[in-house]
Amino acid sequence: MIALSLIALATALGSSLLPRVAAHGYVQDVTIGGKNYPAWDPNVDPYQDPLPQRVMRKVPDDGPVIDITSPDMACNQGGESGAALVADAAAGSQVTFQMVRWPSDHLGPVIHYMADCEGDCTTFDATKGKWFKIYEDGFDNGLWATTKLIANNLAVTVTIPAELKSGQYLLRHELIALHDITQPQYYPACAQINVTGGGNQEPDPASIVSIPGVYSGFKWPDIWSEDFNSFALPSPALAKFAASAASSPAPAPSSQAPAPSTSSSPAPAPSSQAPAPSTTAAPAPGTSSAPAAAPAASSTGKAKCKARTTKRSASEKAARRARRHAAGHAKRHHQH
Ligand X SMILES: *[C@@H]1O[C@H](CO)[C@@H](O)[C@H](O)[C@H]1NC(C)=O
Give 104 or 200: the residue with its C-beta nearer to ligand X: 200
Give 33 or 221: the residue with its C-beta nearer to ligand X: 33
| 144-156 exposure pattern, b = at least 16 Cβ within 10 A, e = fewer | bbbbbbbbbbbbb
Work out how close the CB of 53 gets to ligand X at its nearest, in angstroms, rounded to a whole number. Answer: 13
Give 45 or 88: the residue with its C-beta nearer to ligand X: 88
Q: What are phi and psi of 198, to 5 degrees?
A: -80, 175
Give 86 or 158: the residue with its C-beta nearer to ligand X: 86
Distance CA(8)–CA(130), nearest Å, equals: 56
**Beta strand segments in 117-184, E:** 131-137, 139-140, 143-144, 155-159, 167-177
Distance CA(294)–CA(220), nearest Å, equals: 8
Give 33 or 258: the residue with its C-beta nearer to ligand X: 33
Helices within 248-313 (DSSP H only): none
Work out how close the CB of 294 gets to ligand X at its nearest, in angstroms, rounded to a whole number. Answer: 46
Work out how close the CB of 33 gets to ligand X at its nearest, in angstroms, rounded to a whole number. Answer: 10
Torsion sign over Cα 62, 109, 78, 73: negative
Give 198 or 234: the residue with its C-beta nearer to ligand X: 198
Give 168 or 265: the residue with its C-beta nearer to ligand X: 168
Work out how close the CB of 122 gets to ligand X at its nearest, in angstroms, rounded to a whole number. Answer: 8
Work out how close the CB of 90 gets to ligand X at its nearest, in angstroms, rounded to a whole number. Answer: 9
Work out how close the CB of 166 gets to ligand X at its nearest, in angstroms, rounded to a whole number. Answer: 7
* Cα–Cα distance list, 335 to 19, 24, 108, 212 (Å): 11, 10, 19, 26
Distance CA(122)–CA(84), nearest Å, equals: 6
Contacts of 122 by beta carbon, 8 Å cutoff, 6+ apart: 82, 83, 84, 85, 86, 192
Of all residues in this chain, which one has the CB nearest to ligand X in the complex? 194
Phi-psi group of 78: left, alpha or beta (phi > 0 → left; psi -120 to 50 → alpha; rest → beta):
left
CB 61, CB 329: distance < 8 Å: yes
DSSP β-bridge partners for residue 36: 31
| Interaction site with ligand X (CB under 6 A) | 86, 88, 194, 196
Work out how close the CB of 167 gets to ligand X at its nearest, in angstroms, rounded to a whole number. Answer: 8
